[in-house]
Amino acid sequence: MSGYEILFSKQAQKDIGELPSKQKSKLQEILINIIASNPYIGKELPEWIIFLSP
């Protein structure tokens, strides 16, 4: 199974921009290593994250 592309709304980009660098890196790690490979794993994500098939 190939990975998914993760897109963010403008509001999400703004919210992420306000996070401390430690939280940004943790979010990036989760999104790239876990969610991008299987978006249906774990808890439901906030509305502002949109997934598209590869």
User: Could you tell me which residue, 47 or 31, shows the higher pLDDT?
Assistant: 31
Angle formed at CA 19 by CA 16 and CA 21, multiple of 5 degrees: 110
- For residues 51 and 54, give the distance between their C-alpha atoms in angstroms, rounded to a whole number: 9
Q: Is the pTM of this model over 0.75?
A: no
Q: What's the confidence (pLDDT) of residue 51?
A: 54
Greatest extent of the chain over all pairs of C-alpha atoms, in Å = 33
Q: What's the confidence (pLDDT) of residue 18?
A: 93
pLDDT band for position 6 (cuts 50, 70, 90): confident
- Token pair belonging to 21: 């660098």
- Token pair belonging to 32: 């790239």
Q: Please write the tens of the pLDDT for every residue from 14-44.
A: 989 999 999 999 988 888 887 777 777 766 6
Q: What's the confidence (pLDDT) of residue 1?
A: 45
